[in-house]
Structure 1
Amino acid sequence: MASTILNQTIIMLILIGVGVICAKTKLISEASNKDLSKFVLQVVNPVVIFMSYQKPYKAELAKNLLLTFVISVIAMSVMISFSYILVRKKAGREFEIERFSSVYSNCGFMGIPLVNALFGDEGVFYLTAFITVFNLIVWTHGVILVSGEKDFKQVVKVFYSPTIISIILGLITFFLEIRLPDTALTALGFIKDVNTPMAMIVSGVTIAATDVPKLLKNYRVYYVCFLKLFVMPLILAVPLSLFSGFDDKVRMTVLVAAAAPPAAMCTLLSIRYGKNSVYASEIFTAGTILSVGTLPLVVKATEYLTKII
């Protein structure tokens, strides 16, 4: 499984490199990249999620989906708790951005391609539970953390997002066993297939705008990435390894989603609330690149723990 992750992350790194080249050669501008990002988030990702529900109903699938919801809530709660311990509040330090980046992952952009490579549609099916929990918590705790304001109106807006709508529609079609005609499935399948290349190219264009020499001199970037990519996943790996009776696909889907690099959303929220968006972008860039090495290690460590515990 670790070798599959390594192979997939290398593929994704190559695609990110294509995005960097497109940015440097002006083939994709910053404005165009924002539009592409919206297309991936609001059209492609929801289609991928919806398509994962287009499968025959099985009691085991439903049970594992519910289990993934529960584990995802626990995982997010654990990471949030540890972020307050490992990232201390200090004058002059961007602790809000560091805590956010150490907890919230790019579970949509990076998680979907990785889980799809490991477990196919069934893995993405379980991943939707993590994504749902992620969206509910990031638009409450995450927004409050970055903005410093309690804006619970955001919770209502979450349910109008294309991602949540696709999950709700997918659940309805799954439990009622509603299947789309083959023609519609084929058309949506074409959209689904562009998810990985488009998501990675968009990430590459974003990374190209980062001041890499400046990034390399900031040791706090490495510390936050170390927390997000290594410490947090390993903290989760121990309790996940104890539940050997769980379906491996459920456990590893949650782990991979949690171990994915820092969320690009931190940069967007930083811009919106007047925080240091450049620092958030640096963490995103470093985390995305470093995850090529850390993701296989985390998966391998979890596999080892599962055998010895």
Structure 2
Amino acid sequence: MSISGILIYQIAVIFIIIIIGVICYKTNLIDDATNSKLSNILLTLVNPIVIFVSYQRDFSYDLLEGLLISLLLSIITHIVGIIISYTLIRRKRRKIVTIDGSTTKSYVENENVEVERLQSIYSNLGFMGIPLVNSIFGSEGVFYVTASITIFNIFIWTHGVILMSGAENLKFKDIIEKLISPTIFAIIIGLLFFIFQIRVPDVVYEALDYIADLNTPFAMLIAGVTIGKTNIIKLFTKNLRTYYIAFIRLIIIPFVLLLLYIWLPINEMVKIVAIIMASSPTAASGALFAIKFNKNSVYAAEIFTVSTLFCILTIPLIVKIAELLA
């Protein structure tokens, strides 16, 4: 089966878990407090263990080279995303008004420009990227994902903070504190264990592997609960601009990066992982940033919901195009 075919199957599985998450929220089986605790468990325990386990493998220069290439591709991914979002999402929006059959065009201030740019640039690596890559390539794929997670954290806690709050509020101490997270800690420790070939005992590895297996169901249940908070029917008809932002996040940015990456003479797995990372829906942390910096968090959550639902179609499409062009 082709990679795009495997993706379609795995996304169908993931979508079913998301629906279960929606049902759990609608039936009060998982409330906001429970979802918050599940998110904390995922981000501070499960994700770091998934990453650490991916580094428990025999050292090879090919793997190390692939990791370094993944770092470079992730930097390019974020820079391209920033350029495209700033080009297509402007501070002034065109507004068309029809009065008595007469149509006039004017430009109004886009009060949500920061939210829209953040949501189009930053993708959902932990919640969507890791489960998808893990389902296709296993722990070796996750090994390369760690590069994307590292660069994501650096960019979102520098550029993301500048975008949402202004450079005057950017404090170096705060950035360092945010970068020292369980995920980054797991990457550093895991990388050292990989380079120096330090292996945990089999019984410890198996226990960690069991916890790592919780990543996909936890992440998708959390996504389902987040989607369940919105009125999906009203969402799809109320604000059509969410489609535009989702289109940038799911189609334009991944397609441009696809055209850049597909011709590179590099490891095929590294290439596909980078494309999947670039094709993931908007980051769940976008809504959290909107709350933190007093922006439109409801709108941010709506963009997250739309992009998460539509990525079921767009990720396999982007990967299929990559396969056809390869």
Q: Shorter-normalised TM-score: what interval?
A: over 0.9
Report how many residues are paired. 305
* Range moving further from structure 2, 102-111 or 148-157: 148-157
> Which residue pairs with 1:240 in the alignment?
261
1:136 aligned to 154, 168, 182, which one? Answer: 154
Q: Write the mapping of 1:125-274 to structure 2, written as runs, cut at 5 A.
A: 125-148=143-166, 149-217=169-237, 218-243=239-264, 245-274=265-294
Q: 1 or 2, which has the higher strand percentage?
A: 2
Q: Larger radius of gyration, structure 1 or 2?
A: 2
CA deviation after TM superposition for structure 1 residue 200, in Å: 0.2
> Which residue pairs with 1:296 in the alignment?
316
Q: Tell me the SS of whatever aligns to 2:127.
A: coil
> Percent same amino acid among aligned pairs?
46
> Which residue pairs with 1:97 in the alignment?
115
> Which residue pairs with 1:110 in the alignment?
128
Gaps of 5+ in 1: none
Could you say if the C-alpha distance between residues 159 and 93 of structure 1 is closer, same or farther in structure 2, counting changes exceeding 3 Å? closer
8 Å contact 2:153–2:179 — kept in the other structure?
no
8 Å contact 1:140–1:154 — kept in the other structure?
no
1:34 is aligned with what amino acid? S
2:105 matches 1:85: no
CA deviation after TM superposition for structure 1 residue 125, in Å: 0.2
1:236 is aligned with what amino acid? L
Q: Determine the C-alpha separation between the residues in 1 that align with 2:158 and 2:9.
A: 35
2:57 matches 1:39: no
8 Å contact 1:224–1:283 — kept in the other structure?
yes
Q: Determine the C-alpha separation between the residues in 1 that align with 2:7 and 2:233.
A: 29
CA deviation after TM superposition for structure 1 residue 152, in Å: 3.2
Q: Tell me the SS of whatever aligns to 2:30.
A: coil
What is the root-mean-square deviation in Å for CA atoms of aligned residues?
1.0
2:135 is aligned with what amino acid? A
Gaps of 5+ in 2: 93-108
Q: Tell me the SS of whatever aligns to 1:109.
A: helix
8 Å contact 1:136–1:158 — kept in the other structure?
no
1:280 is aligned with what amino acid? A
Cα deviation 1:181-221 (Å, max 9, x = unaligned): 01100110110011100110011011100122332121110
2:148 is aligned with what amino acid? F
